[in-house]
Structure 1
Amino acid sequence: MSTFDPGQSWLREFPPTAFAMVMATGIVSIAAHLTGYDVAGWILLGINAVAWPVLLAITLCRLLRYPRAVHADIVDHGRGPGFLTLVAATAVLGSQLSICHVLPQALPWLLGLAAGLWLVVAYTFLAAMTIGQRKPGLHAGLNGTWLLLVVATESIAVLATAVSPIHGASVPLDLLALAAWLLGGILYMMLITLIFYRWCFVPMRAADLTEPWWINMGAMAITTFAGSRLILATHNPAGWPGDGQLVLQILTTGCWAMATFWIPLLAALFIEKHVIIGDPVRYTVAEWSVVFPLGMYSAATYAYADAAHLPFLVNVARITVLIAFATWILAAIGLLRSALRSVNGK
């Protein structure tokens, strides 16, 4: 475990999860466009057009200037999964451009970059977890950020469904979308089993109920979104036979039901921690881990309503997108206040 001096630079301390802000902004923008709030969607696209390259430049500078700090982060059970926000943010930005019909020529490049980053980050992290000799127990080592493995994988599936029509229904891209969707679902089943075991059979305090646990819901929401996009494709994904659409619809319905299942429980635990116990909400990068799942649930519900021909669910999406946008505003205010305090020296 690494220890840093008190005088270390902000660049050395830069959090691996910083791209969660881009993920959250991107998906709220997508949900806003889908549900008819186009002005908000365009504003959020403009913010991401600045935020993504700036955060990418900072991340590359950190890698070059402080490679040991980056290494210490990626081999850490708690911080390592945070690097997957870079993968998901890149793919979400591509999906955001696709929904807004902006720069379609950039979509294949962003898909290629996201897939390449997934290979590097996911396998580096998992290899480090496997061969590392100092391993914490579930209580200390497992948190909601591990489900970023699912989110990053599903984000590639979503973007692949957008890129495939550009190339005239490319079979390799259809296969990539389908394989990533299924892989993400399998990874979720593996991880959520451990998470459910930890929640129900390992003692937890209010302090352990941190924001990244909202990814329990967000991971299923993006799986629902990807499955809905596969159903809505004008051609059979990867050449599935006719009943393939039925299989997709059944599995996607299960994913939407699972995402919905988490919301009352997570909301109740949030109220327990911050209202009943009285633990104040303080801004950290983790706050975006609440915004992203809420925005993703709205986008997923809208897409699922379209794919399953259930128009009444569109109203649910239109309500939840307002909640997601409100949480985005609160997180943005927290970010600005935190930045001002840093500039003013506290």
Structure 2
Amino acid sequence: MVRRTALHRLRQDIADLHPGYAALVMATGIVSTGLELFGLHALSTVLLVVAIVALAALVVAYTWRAVRYPRRVIADVRDPARGFGYFTLVAAPNVVGVRLAEDHPLVCLVLGLATVPVWLVVTYVVPGSMVIGRRQAPVLPRTDGSWFMWVVGTQSLAATAATVAAAEPSLAASLAPWAVAFWGMAVVLYLMLIGLVTVRLLESPVAPHALSPTYWVYMGATAISVLAAAKILALSPTLPVLLATREVVSGLAFVLWAFGTWWIPLLLAFAVRRHLVDREHVGYEPALWSMVFPLGMYAAASATYGRTSGLAFMVDIARVEVWFGFAAWVVVAIAMGRSFLPRRGRPVPASSTHMVG
């Protein structure tokens, strides 16, 4: 009886699994990368193992869900508040791959290639279904920070292409143009989306629950753009695509870093309004990983770009920021673990499998 109940609960969890739950892997992988950049090898390795295990488990879970519950997957794709979460399935393997690239560049390449078909499907099907599909309600009122996962997923491919190109010089001439192309596409997407999402925030009153942690991806999208740019700038400057674009990539990367830094106080103000002013009580919600990821990515990006460009102050900022990312990871990991524990007289809430967007 207990086994049957556990199996039923597992099936329900898979059916309810949010498209953006792979942000757990993204957050864990990038905090591991940040710790590794500052020589904290043991701690970084522990988080890397957690990220790999979580990635494997989620790949199985999402595959099971697609086969067993295809209608739910299709409904997610058509939902503006959930569909862009599928880009975490692009970013998560690439974040792990970039972390592994120094010792295992082939693994990084394989993970990157495996995510290209996913990116192609999601990048055209999700926004395409909103434009040409049958809409039961307007789309723009349902925009939120999760839309920036489109940028994050695209930049993760740029970072992977540049990382492998640096590790395997024989592939540099082939991969460098792809790295710059994905980077450029993602920057344009960011400029487009920031207008749409900001208009959504300004157009009508925003309820406290709408200021979810996914809005931290506002900043996370700029941070991963800076990281991908730093990876590109580390390539040989004699490559034709670098001769044509190096100054643009470097300059825009710094502008994006500055803009992402400007966003941090405003995002903190969102949190203050939600939790201290409006006093909305929030326990564990998987969307919290969408806050941890930008914190970790900001540290990794600042350190990598700072070292590549000779801007020591950015490295100094990252040296402190990496601990904020790690502390946030620990807090959310503990909250997640507690959410899985049965409450006295009650089963684990179904919301433990949901990601608020």
Compute the TM-score of the two structures, normalised by the length of structure 2.
0.90
Cα distance change, pair 66–244 in 1 and its aligned pair in 2 (3 A): closer
Cα distance change, pair 237–229 in 1 and its aligned pair in 2 (3 A): farther
Match of 1:187 in 2: 189
Match of 2:41 in 1: 38
Asked whether the equivalents of residues 165 and 235 of structure 2 are also in contact (C-alpha less than 8 Å), the reply is: no
Measured after TM superposition, the shift of residue 8 of structure 1 is 7.6
Rounded to whole Å, the distance in 1 between the matches of 2:121 and 2:112 is 14
1:19-58: per-residue Cα shift (whole Å, max 9, x none)? 0100000111111111222222111111112111111011
1:122-154: per-residue Cα shift (whole Å, max 9, x none)? 212122112222254466410111111100000
Rounded to whole Å, the distance in 2 between the matches of 1:45 and 1:136 is 42
Measured after TM superposition, the shift of residue 308 of structure 1 is 2.2
Asked whether the equivalents of residues 91 and 110 of structure 1 are also in contact (C-alpha less than 8 Å), the reply is: yes
Rounded to whole Å, the distance in 1 between the matches of 2:132 and 2:34 is 40
1:171-223: per-residue Cα shift (whole Å, max 9, x none)? 22101100000000000000001112122232212221111000000000100
Rounded to whole Å, the distance in 1 between the matches of 2:239 and 2:153 is 20
Residues 160-169 or 294-303, more deviating: 160-169
Match of 2:77 in 1: 74
Cα distance change, pair 195–229 in 1 and its aligned pair in 2 (3 A): same
Compute the TM-score of the two structures, normalised by the length of structure 1.
0.92
Rounded to whole Å, the distance in 1 between the matches of 2:173 and 2:119 is 21
Rounded to whole Å, the distance in 2 between the matches of 1:237 and 1:225 is 19
Identity of aligned residues (%): 35
Measured after TM superposition, the shift of residue 342 of structure 1 is 8.2
Rounded to whole Å, the distance in 1 between the matches of 2:21 and 2:238 is 37
Instruction: Give secondary structure in 1 for the equivalent of 2:310.
Output: coil
Question: Does residue 250 of the first structure (1) align with residue 248 of the second (2)?
Answer: no
Measured after TM superposition, the shift of residue 255 of structure 1 is 0.9
Rounded to whole Å, the distance in 2 between the matches of 1:288 and 1:198 is 23
Counterparts of residues 156-305 of structure 1 (less than 5 Å) = 156-165=157-166, 166-236=168-238, 238-241=240-243, 244-305=245-306
Asked whether the equivalents of residues 76 and 83 of structure 2 are also in contact (C-alpha less than 8 Å), the reply is: yes
Measured after TM superposition, the shift of residue 170 of structure 1 is 2.6
How many residue pairs align between the two structures?
338
Structure 2 unaligned blocks of 5 or more:
1-8, 349-357
Structure 1 unaligned blocks of 5 or more:
1-5
Asked whether the equivalents of residues 90 and 114 of structure 1 are also in contact (C-alpha less than 8 Å), the reply is: yes
Measured after TM superposition, the shift of residue 69 of structure 1 is 1.0
Asked whether the equivalents of residues 94 and 160 of structure 2 are also in contact (C-alpha less than 8 Å), the reply is: yes
Cα distance change, pair 7–217 in 1 and its aligned pair in 2 (3 A): closer
Question: Does residue 21 of the first structure (1) align with residue 8 of the second (2)?
Answer: no
Residues 280-289 or 193-202, more deviating: 193-202
Asked whether the equivalents of residues 84 and 149 of structure 1 are also in contact (C-alpha less than 8 Å), the reply is: yes
